[in-house]
Amino acid sequence: MKRLAALSQNFLRSPQLVKELLGHTNITHGDIVYDIGAGSGVVASALAPRVRSVVAVEIDPRLAEKLRSNLAHLDNVVVNNADFMTLPLSHTPYKVFANIPFSLSAQIVHRLTDAPYPPSAIYLIVQEQFARKLLPDNKGYTNQLAIMLGAEFAARVRRRLKPTDFYPRPNVPTVLLEIVKRTDPLIKKTNLPMFKQFVAGCFADPRKLFRSPLRDIGLSPVAAPSSLTLKQWVALFDLICREPQKQGMSLVEPTDQILNQIASPVAPPEFTSPHLRFIADRMLELAAGKGHDVKDSRQMVGLAAPQLGVSKRIIAIDVTATGTKQKQTLKILVNPTIVWKSKETVLGREGCWSCGNICGAVERAQKVRIEALDTAGKSVNILFTDFVARIAQHEIDHLDGIRFPDRITDSTKLHWVEPAEFERYRTHWQTWRRICPRATWDAMKIGKGDYLIRMTTSSSV
C-alpha cells in the first residue's frame, strides 16, 4: 500500500524481524499490548500468538480496513481506526510495542508516560537521534523529556535496525527503544508532578535553575539545564524539598577555596546568555542587602562574583561610597582591569565578608583607572578616587584569588574584630590593639581552623 508522507509511515517488511525484536523485550503471554500505527498488521500479527491480546490502533482509514482484513483470523486482536493521541487507554496493566510515525515520537512518549495508568513497558521503533535524547546521561547533554520521564521510567536502546528492514527505506538510523516503569521511582509518586514542573520550568527559563542551590550538589551555580544528569536533577530536587529556604548563588564561606582561585574572563558569547544577566542581578541584590538569609541581608559597597561561588571576572561597586553610611549607587563591571594607578597611596581600613572577623589596614593607590565592559559588552573607562578606588582594588583582587590580608605585610595591622565592635572599629582602626595572628588568617585561607563570621548591616570594606 502507498505510503502517506504526512503520517511519516515507514512500514516493517517482515513479521520474522518483529519476532526477533520481541526477543529483546519483557513481553509475555499474559500481556495486553498496544500496537500504535499498526499499518497493515506486520507487528500485530507477530504479537498475537505471543500475548493475551493486541490493541491495534491505526488512524489511516485505508490501512485500518486492510488491517481488519489481514487480522480477521486472529481472535485476540482488536482494531481501532482512531487517533492514538485521543484514544482512551486501558486502566488495567498493559504494554506497548509499536513502529510509530517518527514525527510523533515525542507526543506519543508524552501521552504514554503522562497517562493516569501508564504502561509498565514501552517498546518503540524510532529514530536513533530521538532515542538518544531520552537516555538520561547522554554524553554530557540531557534532554528535558529524558529527565522528566527518567524519574519514573528507565530508557535504553535495545537494538539497531537496518534501512532495508523498512519500506520505504528511512533516511535516518533507527533503533528499538525500551522505556520501562521503575519498580521504585527516583522521586516519590506524590512529588512527581512537582518534579516535572520544576524541570520544565528550568529548561524554559534557566534563571529558575540558577536560583537553586547548585553548588550544594557540587555543580556550577550557573550550570545549564542540559548539563545536569538525571542523578543530579534528583539530588537537587530532593535538597530543595528538604531545605526550601536554600538559595542559589549566595555568599560563600570564608574557607571556600573558590576565593583563592583566579576567576575566568567572561567570553563574548556570554553577554547574550541568561546566566550573565542573572549573575549581575544577583550581585546587585546581595550588595543592596536584599538577600533572604541573615548573611545575605547586609549592604555592601563592593562584591565580586567569586564571593557568590561564581568563578567569573565580574564585580559590583558602589561608585558613590565614602566610607560612611549613604545611599548606594551600584555599578557592575565585567572583566575589569586596572590600567593605571597613582603613585600616591593611602593607608585605610578594610574588612570583608570573605575574611570573617579579620579586618586590617591596607595600603592602596589613591586613584585608579579601570577599563572594563558593562553587561551589554560595551567598553567602560572610568577613573576612581579615594574610597571608591579602594573598593575597586579590593574587588579586583578577589578576581585574582587575593584577599586584603594578603596585601598586609605588617602583622600589627592585621586586626581581630568582634561583631559588636565593628562600628567602633570604623573610627578606631588606627589604634586597634587586638591583633589577629597571621597563622589564623593562613588557616582560614586554606579552609582550616576556627573562625567567626561578622554579622552586621554595615558595609564590607
Cite the active site residues: 395
Round to whole Å and give the CA distance between 199 and 89: 26
Cα four-point dihedral sign 141, 146, 150, 154: negative
Cis peptide before 168 (omega within 30 of 0): yes
Q: Under 8 Å CB-to-CB from 411, ≥6 apart: which residues?
A: 435, 437, 438
Cα of 242 vs its chain's centroid, Å:
18
Pairing relationship of beta strands 77-80 and 53-57 according to DSSP bridges: parallel
The x, y and z cell numbers of residue 372, run together, are 572594563
Identify which of 105, 176, 179 has the alpha carbon closest to the alpha carbon of residue 136. 179
Round to whole Å and give the CA distance between 305 and 315: 6
Cα four-point dihedral sign 212, 218, 222, 223: negative
Whether 434 contacts 415, CB under 8 Å? yes
Task: Give the DSSP letter string of 350-399.
Answer: EE-GGGTTEEEEEEEESEEEEEEE-TTS-EEEEEEEHHHHHHHHHHHHHH
Round to whole Å and give the CA distance between 380 and 214: 32
Exposure string for 231-265, b = 16+ CB within 10 A, e = fewer? ebbbbbbbbbeeeeeebbbbbbbbbbebbbeebee
